[in-house]
Structures are given as structure tokens and as C-alpha cells.
Amino acid sequence: MSKLCICSFLLFFFFYWVVRSCRVEKSRGGAQRNAFVACVGKQYLYPSDLASIDLTHIDAADADFFVKKYVEEWACKQLLIAQADDQFMQPSIEVKLNDYKNDLLAYHFLETLVQRDFDTHVSSEAIADYYQKYKQRDFILHHDIVKGIFLAIPKKAAAINSVKSLMLSNKAVDRIKLQACCKPYLDTAILDTDQWFVWEAVLAKIGYRPLRNATRLLKTNKFIHEAGSKHIYFLKINQYKITQEIAPLEAVEDQIRAIILHKRRVDLMNKIKCKLLEDAKKNHTCVIQIN
């Protein structure tokens, strides 16, 4: 008999045993057992177990299909567990579980030691030093970035007449007035002049589609006032950097801080592990015989 026939016979026998077990358990059980949704051997899934399924984002027409797939996934999982729960697999599973438990325990204890001594403060000097050292290598822009004020206002808006003059003004009081005028249109506005934004993301947010190349638009315009089919677009460009230029420090400051903290964490972990080994060797609780 071929290996394929043997496997098919064993699989058929296993499923026959599962169905038979379900029928036996059903005949033995009371009214509660008779109300089950699915069973695999002695494992039962009841309607109450389905109450935790989140169907709030599922269309009513698809709800039955979603529940059915959930039940089938549960049944497949039970079948896999039943097949895996075999005396020949137990030793290897136990070893893996113990390894996982020990790895998890060691990791959490090391994290506890790290958190106790970890310094999360990164000075502006350290950030600037790192930037100067690695800016030519690590901080080349892969997209255009821009600073400025960018708006898309419906054509019927009452504030259009005053927006342009407020945008062109550099007075702090006019900036406050502009914030107030644009409050109803924050979904299509960028008013933070101190932050760098990806140029393509700016255009997408306000819904502006330039006829010319987007990079050329940056190079040839400081202020854009254009009417679309439904909106009036205002773009005031204060600063920009294009692809392949070095990113300004303020645009990568958070990235550098994260890099420094990661390196600091790795160094601290290594120091803790080295000290742990050294102390254990001195106390003769650890012996390593490899030079």
C-alpha cells in the first residue's frame, strides 16, 4: 500500500473518530450539550462563546459568513491540537515551551535591570554632534520637504477675502486671526510654520493638484493663489529642501534622539550582561571552560 493511501486512511479514520466522539458526547449530554454550535472530540463551542465576536464593522449580509469562518477556524484549531497532543510530540513541545518560558523570563528581568539605570535624557548638544558626524551618510532626503502655510477653502466661504492678506503678513496678531478664520477648515489646512512637512503629503491634504512638476513648483513660487472647481487654494512657501539634499537638523531631531537612545540601551544591556557574568565567575556560580 502506498504512503499516500496510508495517510488518506489514517486521516479518514481520525475524522471518523472525531464525528463519532461528538455524537457520543451529544447523546450523553443534557439540553446544554444539545445546543452546541460545533464540537471536536470532547471540546464544545456554544452560542455563548460567539458573543465575544465583534461584528460592529461587518455588514449584516456578511455576518453569517464571518461567524461561519470563525467556527471553522475554531474547529480546525481543535483538530490540530488533538493531533498534536500525541505522546511522540510531547517531549519536543515541552522543550520548546521551556525554552520560550526561560527566554521570556530572562528578557523581562534584563528589561527590569535596564529600566532601573536607563537615562532617557538626550541633550541638544548630543543630537547636534550626531547630526554633524553622520548627516552626509544618514540624512539625505528621499522626498521634498517644505515649511509654510497651506489652505484649501470652499469657494463660498466668507473668510476668503481676508485670508490672503493675513497669510502674507508676518505679524503675530495676524497669525492668530488666520488661525481663527481657518478653524472650520482644519481638515484641509496646515498652519504650523515651524514644522517640516513632506511636500507631496501637503498637496494631498489640501487636495491641490499642480499642473506643473511639484518640485519645480517649489523652486519657482513663494506664494500660490489658485481657484479650483470647488476650493480656493492658498500656498505660502517659507522654506523648502528637495530630494537628495541634506535634511535640516530640526527635521530629523526626533529620529536622531531615537537612534541615540537605542544605542544607549544596547550598550547598557551589554554592560549588565558582562557584569552578571563577571560576578558569577568570581562567586564560582558560573564556569566557562572555553578560552
**Is pLDDT above 90 for 223?**
yes
pLDDT range class, residue 161, cuts 50, 70, 90: confident
Return d(Cα 253, Cα 157) in angstroms, integer. 38
Predicted pLDDT at 265: 96
Across the chain, mean pLDDT equals 85
- pLDDT tens column, 34-85: 588 888 888 898 888 887 777 777 777 777 888 888 888 888 888 887 777 6
Average pLDDT value for residue range 121-137: 97
Give the pLDDT of residue 42.
85
Asked whether residue 23 carries a pLDDT value surpassing 60, the answer given is no
**What gap in Å lies between CA 260 and CA 19, rounded to an integer?**
59
pLDDT of amino acid 10 = 39
Give 187-211 pLDDT, tens digit per residue.
Answer: 999 999 999 999 999 999 999 998 8
Confidence of residue 24 (pLDDT cuts 50, 70, 90): very low
Q: Where are the beta strands (DSSP E) in the chain?
A: 38-40, 43-45, 145-154, 189-190, 197-198, 223-227, 231-241
Q: What is the rounded CA–CA span in Å between residue 35 and residue 13?
A: 26
d(CA 182, CA 273): 56
pLDDT at 5: 45
- Confidence check: pLDDT of 12 > 60: no
What letter would DSSP give residue 248?
P
pLDDT of 25 > 50? The answer is: no
> Would you place residue 254 in the very low, low, confident or very high pLDDT band (cuts 50, 70, 90)?
very high
Q: Among residues of the chain, what percentage have pLDDT more than 90?
A: 52
- The pLDDT value recorded for residue 15 is 45
Pairing of strands 43-45, 223-227: unpaired
Are 240 and 143 a contacting pair, CB within 8 Å? no
pTM of the model as a whole: 0.67
Look up residue 220 and give its three cell numbers.
519657482
